[in-house]
Amino acid sequence: MIEQPSLSEDEGLELGLSEARSFPCRPVSDSARALEVGRNRLIVTGLIVVFAFLAVSVKLVGATCFAHREELRGDRPPEPEVFTARGDIIDRNGQLLATSLATASLHADPKLVLDAQEAAAKLVEALPDLEYQDVYDKLTSNKRFVWIKRNLTPRQHYAVHVLGLPGLMFEREERRFYPPGKLASHVVGYTGVDNVGLAGLERSFNKRLNSGSGSIQTSLDLRLQHILHRETVAVVEEFQALGGNGIIMDVRTGEILAMVSLPDFDPQEPGDAEGQQKFDRNALGVYEMGSTFKIFNSAMVLDSGKIHIGDKFDAINNIHIGRFTIHEYHGQHRMLNVAEIFQYSSNLGSARMAVQVGIPTQIAFMAKIGFLKPVPIELPELGWPLVPKPWHEINAMTIAFGHGMSVSPLHVAMGAAAVINGGIMHKPTLLKVLPGQDVPGERIISEHTSIEMRRLFRIVVTEGTAKFANVPGYMVGGKTGTADKQRGRHYTNANLTSFVGVFPINDPAYLVMIMVDEPKPSPTSHGFTTAGWVSAPVVGRVIKQIGPLLGVQPIDEQSPEIRQALEMDIGTKGTALAAYSPDDDH
């Protein structure tokens, strides 16, 4: 046995390191190298697949959302311009007359509907106002877009949503709502399903309402509108009339505080309106207004300087001109001065006064007060006056007492306001006039003539044809008018009755006008259908209710100041002046 030499610890370590450096490292096995290469290849392949999948996804999204855009445009009707901020319409006190609320509208892509029969049946069940065949035809059409129902209610929206039918979709739109209902339908108007104004203020201010510039504040007072509407409805029903209308106006600014036309309609469902319901009698209708025209005839002759209030005219003998005869309804059979002609509503006296001043003066005056063109007010529905062409002497005579020329009730209100407010014509407006705002006006008669006309207005109520319009403390003045309606070339026994009232007449502030179309005899009027029995009492009732709301304080009618302001020096006043009954006006 050979004995190995012993090594120290340090020598052994050195020897080991030397041996390790003397032999190379053992190479990696072939299987390990293959596994590593495979793993790298799998990573690269996976990345390629991911990127390919992403590319395909992008293509699919593009094809789904955009590839059929041109096709959709071709099948789908032009997109309505959706306005999300159509302005409100409010009254002078901020009460809502019209506003918009967000709604959902239901449409479909027939290409995506799986079972048109089932879908149509379920939709008709959820929306009973739809017709099955109509819905089915839409769902089986070749179009890519069809409207099913616009402006769903929240309940309808939910009922369709829970059906979960493929191919049905909702689109956000807006629907117009009218909180007062039909109360001011002819003034406010209405919009279509595409949020476009189609009538009234909605149409006149359509661009402004859709511009996002805010609300439209009107001159209307919803409180007064309610009173006027209620009283007009009552008189139409009482006398079984074809219709009626009314106006309340501030004579100092031209603001329309209330305006009603009957029959009216629901602006929420304008398509349901029938016959004359959408017809605005105040602005669009033109009529022969009867004796209310004597307001303008009297103002014209007095302002001409050719005739004075004490001048007398023949009210005894009928006027024969050509094949026509002008006569009185209930004549006084005596000479009458200008004040008495107005008080007794004399046709003969009015005709002779008109001839005295002449046709050119009459035409010029009618033009000055705006009776030869539509009323300048913010409504699209305006009627053109009907005037004689050529303008003969017979026309001048009949126009003097309200026949042979047709104007709208708004014309009469505008002209009457100017006659009694000091002689200044203000354009009527449906927009609120702010305190301190300048109100442009044009003088049409002198202040002296206007004061004389106020006195004539008051006499008609205290001693003439409109006694039933008197309201103690409110100093009402006015003029009645009863016109025979014309059918074809002949006049009938059907009446158009109207009354224009102003209060307080010593310092005019407000005008109230009521017109009733073809009233029938009523026990309350003892069978009479003239304005003194039909229209004048309504104006009195309206004034009694709106006076306190407008802040008009009742006054002592017998005070020296009031008596002096309305005193007239027109000659002898006999008992005949006080013996006139409201049924005498015609």
Distance CA 452, CA 463 (A): 16
Q: Is the peptide bond before 263 cis (omega within 30 degrees of 0)?
A: yes
Distance CA 294, CA 401 (A): 6
> Nearest to residue 185, comparing CAs of 91, 104, 280, 95?
280
Distance CA 520, CA 75 (A): 57
> Nearest to residue 478, comparing CAs of 285, 307, 312, 343?
343
Distance CA 420, CA 458 (A): 11
DSSP 463-523: TSTTGGG--TTS--EEEEEEEEEEETTEEEEEEEEEEEEEESTTS--EEEEEEEESPPP-G
Q: Which of 105, 219, 291, 535 is catalytic?
A: 291
Q: Burial, 121: exposed, middle or buried (Cβ in 10 Å; 0-12, 13-18, 19+)? A: middle
450 is catalytic: no
> Nearest to residue 375, comparing CAs of 476, 285, 471?
285
Phi, psi of 490 (to 5 degrees): -125, 150
Contact residues for 341 (Cβ-Cβ < 8 A; gap 6+): 294, 298, 313, 315, 349, 350, 353
> Nearest to residue 255, comparing CAs of 415, 432, 410, 409?
432
DSSP 516-546: EESPPP-GGGTT--SHHHHHHHHHHHHHHHH
Instruction: Give the DSSP H or E segment for 457.
Output: helix 447-462
**DSSP 8-state symbol, 287:** B
Instruction: Give me the residues paired with residue 173 across strands.
Output: 103
Distance CA 208, CA 206 (A): 6
How many CA within 13 A on the CB side of residue 557? 13
DSSP 96-139: EEEEEEEEEEEEE-GGG-S-HHHHHHHHHHHSTTS-HHHHHHHH
Q: Six-digit token pair at 388?
A: 């004689």
> Nearest to residue 552, comparing CAs of 501, 500, 506, 504?
504
Distance CA 441, CA 438 (A): 9
Query: What is the SS3 string spanning 317-362?
Result: CCEEECCEEECCCCCCCCEEEHHHHHHCCCHHHHHHHHHHHCHHHH
> Nearest to residue 292, comparing CAs of 397, 389, 421, 407?
407
C-alpha dihedral, 370 to 371 to 373 to 379, nearest 10°: 80
The letter for the amino acid at 136 is: Y
The letter for the amino acid at 393 is: E
Q: Is the peptide bond before 5 cis (omega within 30 degrees of 0)?
A: no
Q: Six-digit token pair at 118?
A: 């089932």
Q: Classify strands 190-191 and 216-217 as parallel, antiparallel or unpaired.
A: unpaired
Phi, psi of 295 (to 5 degrees): -60, -45
Catalytic residues: 291
